[in-house]
Structure 1
């Protein structure tokens, strides 16, 4: 399923909508080129879950931890990761032990060290300048989110592997 959005406000609205249906634990992969809206969507989702301090991009820290109304949320931005093994140095194993909402930008750079995705979102900048998000449920819990949002599951590419 694809949605087009014209600007950052529309992307934030979409993130807030997703926050209404997501539950814990959950892993959401955020794919897309620079500037496609991954961080904007993650920030809106976290704000909608009750995070009030400023939500900074984890571009340099790699991971930011937040307390939300549904529990712990971990926002990762792996763009600057040179090798997936670097996740060991930030204590990724410690984070894997606790139930959390994982929002992972550039997940392909952490392959082999990250929990598997429940939902894969791919954000794209279209030629005319609009943005697009593609939703792909990879686990039954993400299929339930699909149902709660009133989306047709058959059109979402449910199942299969994702990088």
Structure 2
């Protein structure tokens, strides 16, 4: 994920993972940022770790398990890891997801030339997508017409 400095970024866990998990941990490097214990309905956010760089910036959604970092700065850029311990049996292994968050400074984001290049590239991707879709639709229609002709031509009375 690439986010502009000052924006909020939400790291989504996924509804199935939240339902299946009994313990959920969010980490940034070696630091534990937040945890949810579904069994006893406890939620803890540790925003005073990592020299306070997350102070008053973390929000943990107790319904979805998603972690939001508000007013993100380049200090919060890095690897975030989600660990989920499963409730159903001791044989199931915990799952994990990794999120790589990069943060760019708004001053260096988009000069006029870069903005025009991005706009042109986005337009080209959009046009290419439409061309591919039209080609696919026409190909399928031609196949259906050919199958219909073949089917109606092979019936003898």
With the shorter chain as reference, the TM-score category is under 0.3
Normalised by the length of structure 1, the TM-score is 0.26
Q: Greater strand percent: which structure?
A: 2
Normalised by the length of structure 2, the TM-score is 0.27
Higher RCO by CA contacts (8 Å cutoff, separation 6 or greater): 1
Q: Greater helix percent: which structure?
A: 2
